[in-house]
């Protein structure tokens, strides 16, 4: 998904907001790296759509706060054989 970086950043933000998606999920969905997602969201998006940036930042902050819980659940499943 090359081309207009502003459009890509906006589409990424909308996808993350609508699906409460993680950076990893968004990267997989759009076929780009996690670092590209971070750059688009944290550097490019605030320059042209600050309100959308604030919305997506809220979702990403929530995901960041919950990631240690998801990691613990994944580890439990791994060792319980689920």
Q: How far apart are CA 65 and CA 59, in angstroms?
A: 10
On the question of pLDDT at 2 being above 70, the answer is no
Domain that holds residue 29: 5-80
**pLDDT of 7-56, one tens digit each?**
999 999 999 999 999 999 999 999 999 999 999 999 999 999 999 999 99
- Apex 30 CA angle, 40 and 33, nearest 5: 60
Burial (CB count within 10 angstroms: exposed 0-12, middle 13-18, buried 19+), residue 16? buried
From the list 2, 3, 7, the residue with the least C-alpha distance to 44 is 7
DSSP one-letter code for 81: T
Provide the whole-model pTM: 0.81
């Amino acid at each position: 998904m090359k081309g207009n970086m502003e459009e890509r950043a906006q589409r990424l933000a909308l996808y993350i907001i609508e699906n409460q998606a993680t950076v990893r999920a968004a990267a997989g969905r759009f076929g780009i790296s996690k670092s590209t997602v971070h750059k688009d969201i944290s550097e490019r998006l605030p320059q042209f759509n600050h309100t959308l940036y604030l919305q997506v930042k809220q979702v990403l902050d929530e995901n960041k706060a919950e990631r240690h819980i998801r990691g613990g659940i994944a580890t439990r499943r791994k060792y319980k054989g689920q």
